[in-house]
């Protein structure tokens, strides 16, 4: 998969060199290009923002640097056979970024991110590229960050761990919170590792029982309890067949 990020803070993307994403890059599973938006400014001050039409506080990112930057990045990707691009526009007014969307994005060959600063990007830039490729305006949560770079890191990490061969154990994300399947819409319950007792706290007996059926049932019950406590809205989204008689008595 190819990723391009256009930003006024390229150094903010340094974490893409470490851990899971860094290793995926080193193995050639991810081909990441970070670009400085100011390379596409031609004035003495490398201006990327201007005052908003209609007045109001804050500044708006200008059309020209974004247009020139995206044209160059796209031309390079097309030339090198990167497949069909999708534009990922981080914005608090976008659709919520979910595991489902992470799965969808992980199936695309090439993602181009446009993390903004100030009050965001002149709308015409997004409208222009939407005529040429799918555009995903995504929000990573109901809060406002100073810029979209942290959102790029979030989306990239969620997507990268789904790419074939990136996780050491391909099964690892099967039981994650939000994973599709039997536990769909349930959060993951508590997890434990050795030693079996620590500061007087013992792990639940069932986990030492070696009884796979009982362990699976315990995990599911704990997932249900945790989801009910932290995200009752997710329980409402579960299909009725997820629950049995015992659950209804809980
Ligand atoms: N005026 C914008 C609004 O109210 O929707 C907020 C702009 S914010 C200060 C600057 C940039 O940070 C945004 O354009 C976006 O790139 C990024 N950003 C802020 N919060 C975000 C969020 N929750 N999800 C994704 N990106 C976000």
pLDDT in tens, 104-113: 999 999 999 9
* Digit-coded pLDDT (tens) for 56-72: 999 999 999 999 999 99
Q: Where are the domains of the chain?
A: 2-160, 174-250
What is the ipTM metric for this complex?
A: 0.99
Residue 132 to residue 210: CA distance in whole angstroms: 55
The answer to whether domain 174-250 has CATH 1.10.1270.20 is: yes
- The total of other beta-carbon atoms located within 10 Å of residue 242's CB is 16
Please tell me the CATH code under which domain 2-160 is placed. Answer: 3.40.1280.10
Catalytic site positions: 92, 119, 161, 176
pTM to 2 decimals? Answer: 0.94
The reported pLDDT for the residue numbered 250 is 65
Contact 145, 151 (CB under 8 A): yes
Residue nearest to ligand 1 atom 24, measured at CA: 139
The reported pLDDT for the residue numbered 182 is 65
The reported pLDDT for the residue numbered 249 is 74
Residue 198: strand pairing partners:
201
- Residue ranges of the annotated binding site for S-adenosyl-L-methionine are 140-145
The reported pLDDT for the residue numbered 203 is 98
- Measured in angstroms, how far is the CA atom of residue 60 from the centroid of ligand 1? 12
- Measured in angstroms, how far is the CA atom of residue 229 from the centroid of ligand 1? 30
Residues framing ligand 1 (Cβ under 6 A)? 90-93, 115-117, 119-120, 139-141, 143-148, 151
Sites in the chain below the pLDDT cut of 50: none
Contact 124, 70 (CB under 8 A): no
Residue nearest to ligand 1 atom 9, measured at CA: 146
């Amino acid at each position: 998969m190819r990723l391009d990020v256009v930003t006024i803070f390229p150094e903010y993307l340094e974490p893409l060199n470490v851990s899971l994403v860094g290793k995926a890059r080193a193995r050639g599973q991810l081909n990441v290009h970070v670009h400085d938006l100011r390379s596409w400014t031609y004035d003495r001050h490398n201006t990327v923002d201007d005052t908003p039409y209609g007045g109001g506080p804050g500044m708006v990112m200008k059309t020209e640097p974004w247009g020139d930057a995206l044209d160059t990045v796209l031309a390079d990707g097309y030339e090198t056979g990167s497949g069909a691009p999708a534009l990922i526009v981080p914005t608090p007014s976008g659709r919520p970024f979910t595991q489902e969307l992470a799965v969808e994005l992980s199936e695309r060959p090439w993602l181009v991110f446009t993390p903004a600063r100030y009050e965001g990007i002149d709308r015409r830039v997004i409208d222009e590229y939407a005529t040429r490729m799918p555009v995903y305006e995504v929000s990573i949560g109901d809060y406002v960050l100073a810029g979209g770079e942290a959102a790029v890191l979030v989306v990239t990490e969620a997507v990268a761990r789904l790419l074939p061969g990136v996780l050491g154990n391909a099964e690892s994300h099967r039981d994650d919170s939000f994973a599709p399947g039997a536990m769909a819409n349930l959060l993951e319950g508590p997890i434990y590792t050795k030693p079996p007792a620590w500061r007087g706290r013992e792990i639940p007996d069932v986990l030492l029982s070696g009884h796979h059926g009982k362990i699976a049932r315990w995990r599911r019950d704990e997932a249900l309890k945790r989801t009910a406590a932290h995200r009752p809205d997710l329980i409402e989204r579960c299909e009725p067949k997820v629950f049995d008689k015992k659950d209804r008595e809980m």
